[in-house]
Homo-oligomer: A and B are copies of this chain.
Amino acid sequence: MRAKELERYLHNHIPLSRAMQVSVQVLEDELVVLGAPLAPNINHRETVFGGSAAALATLSCWCLLHARLHGEGTSSRLVIQRNSMEFLRPIDGDFTARAALEQPERWAQFSRMLERKGKARIALSSTLQQGGETVGEFSGEFVALPAEE
């Protein structure tokens, strides 16, 4: 899956990602970076609305999981179960969310469990940055379920 293909998928299936003007900047097995400009995500203080920041972080984690499972030929339904977010400072410009697995060494176990039981959980984190500086930290727990509909 290529970055532009994933970006199109997001814009076509998650209208909020289009409203936020989300771009897929990096799409690798171990790292996904999404970007968003300030203007569509601004609040009344002319900084990024906290809900936009959390939404970009959530999307970045979902993209990492989705792309990696897709790369392994697995088609799963990914559901977020809980998340937490720390806002470290106001964001007054374009920003990014860099998603990674919290414990990369647990991927093999997650993948095996998913294959055996059809269901597995995994934790991801996403770092919000502006101009290379960390401005927020997001942590989310996802569960992968059978894709049938």
Contact = CB atoms under 8 A, between A and B. Distances in A.
B77 A87 contact: no
B56 A51 contact: yes
Contact of A19 (B16, B43, B54, B149): B16
Interface string A82-109: 1111110010000000000000000000
B16 A52 contact: yes
Nearest to A147: B45
B87 A84 contact: no
Interface residues of A, number: 36
Interface string A32-67: 000000011111110001111011101100000000
Contacts of A19: 15-16, 19-20, 40
A1 interface: no
Contacts of A45: 77, 149
Interface of A: 9, 13-17, 19-20, 39-45, 49-52, 54-56, 58-59, 77, 79-87, 90, 149
